[in-house]
Amino acid sequence: ECALNGGALPTMRKNGARIARNGRVKRTHSIPITSRVLCTFSSNDGDASNPNDDVKERDDVKERDKSKGQSMEADEVAREQPTSPKNWEKVYNSIRAMREHGEEAPVDLMGCERLAEPGVAAATMRYQSLTALMLSSQTSDPITAQAMKNLQVNLEGGLTVESVRTASAATLEKLIYPAGFYRRKAQYLKQTAEILSQRYDGDIPANVTEMCKLPGVGPKMAYLCMQTAWGRSVGIGVDVHVHRISNRLGWVNVWRTQL
């Protein structure tokens, strides 16, 4: 808004806008104008009579906008604070009691945390845990377990970073078949083994960020691997089953993945 005292109107720029001689404001680029600009011109020569007042007004508006933004962010954080579902402990304990007296599921016997060979070196155990998780995508537990056994028994030197790195892709494909996307997974295994050999001295990354940089490894695998391989719980691996069951129990009400 401009308070005009008569006289010719010069062209000025304020916060990414051009104030033309006819008094109309024209945008000159995409930065939004978020504050009011008070312009006072003299009636004689068109020069600004008090530019310091204009600067002070602009700074005051910026400060108010900043304070308002911080208040809105604080309110948003407060609204997003998680709350525990009602009766979640009762439901959880009931499920545990049911599982204790029910039949064992394949994941109880062949989950990825159970597929590393006992007695191997710590780094090898961690690598085998990661390999099991990489094979498990779009693959049932029994098939994942069989693929792991094939690799452990048939690769020269057992299932290690070096044995996978030196094996041919065709050999890996044959050993992990019929795991889902077995051809692609064979490539991922070879690429990952090369990276681990060169950058991690044959071990696996010790954090989620670095682990997710490996071919074929996503957040779910990384969180599970941190727990099974490194013994650290840094997040929850959520797949379609966790998502579906959590909704059916009434613990959440989200039927589309929130990214």
Which residue out of 68, 86, 90, 220 is catalytically annotated? 220
Q: What is the 3-state secondary structure (H, E, C) of the chain?
A: CEECCCCCCCCEEECCEEECCCCCEEECCCCCCCCCCCEEECCCCCCECCHHHHHHHHHHHHHHHHHHHHHHHHHHHHHHCCCCCCCHHHHHHHHHHHHHHCCCCHHHHHCHHHCCCCCCCHHHHHHHHHHHHHHHCCCCHHHHHHHHHHHHHHCCCCCCHHHHHHCCHHHHHHHHCCCCCHHHHHHHHHHHHHHHHHHCCCCCCCCHHHHCCCCCCCHHHHHHHHHHHHCCCCCCCCCHHHHHHHHHCCCCCCCCCCC
Q: Are strands 12-14 and 2-3 parallel, antiparallel or unpaired?
A: unpaired
What does the pLDDT look like over 99-121, one tens digit per residue? Answer: 888 888 888 889 999 999 999 99
Task: Give the separation between CA 109 and CA 115, rounded to whole angstroms.
Answer: 9
* Entry pTM: 0.65
What does the pLDDT look like over 223-245, one tens digit per residue? Answer: 999 999 999 999 988 888 888 89
pLDDT in tens, the chain (259 residues): 344 444 444 444 444 444 445 555 444 444 443 444 344 344 444 444 555 666 566 666 566 665 655 555 555 555 566 788 888 999 999 999 998 888 888 888 899 999 999 999 999 999 999 999 999 999 999 999 999 999 999 999 999 999 999 999 999 999 999 999 999 999 999 999 999 999 999 999 999 999 999 999 999 999 999 999 999 999 988 888 888 898 999 888 886 655 4
Instruction: Tell me whether residue 56 is one of the annotated catalytic residues.
Output: no
Those residues whose C-beta lies under 8 Å from the C-beta of residue 219, and which sit 6 or more positions away, are 208, 212, 235, 237
